Amino acid sequence: MGLEKRHLPVMVPEVLDALKVQPGGRYIDATAGEGGHSQAILRASEPGGQVLAIDADEEAVAVAKERLTEFGDSFLTVNANFRDLRITALRHDFAPVHGVLFDLGVSSLQLDREARGFSFRRADPLDMRFSIDQRVTAADVVNSYSQGELADLIYHLGEERAARRIATAIVRSRPIETSLELANIIEKASPRRGARIHPATRTFQAIRIAVNDELSALETALQQAASLIGYGGRMVVISYHSLEDRIVKNFFRKESSDCVCPPGTPICICDHKATLKMVTKKPVTPSEAEIGSNARSRSAKLRSAERI
pLDDT score at 3:
41
pLDDT score at 2:
41
pLDDT score at 1:
38
The predicted-structure confidence for 69-120, as pLDDT tens digits, reads as follows: 999 999 999 999 999 999 999 999 999 999 999 999 776 555 556 567 788 8
The predicted-structure confidence for 142-161, as pLDDT tens digits, reads as follows: 999 999 999 999 999 999 99
Q: Which domains does the chain have, with CATH numbers?
A: 12-109+214-307 (3.40.50.150), 120-212 (1.10.150.170)
* pTM over cut 0.75: yes
Cis peptide before 96 (omega within 30 of 0): yes
More confident site: 268 or 234: 234
Residues 92-96: contacts with CB within 8 Å, 24+ apart? Answer: 92/52, 94/26, 94/28, 94/50, 94/52, 95/228, 96/26, 96/228, 96/229, 96/230, 96/233
**β-strands 229-239, 276-278 pairing:** unpaired
The predicted-structure confidence for 218-240, as pLDDT tens digits, reads as follows: 999 999 999 999 999 999 999 99
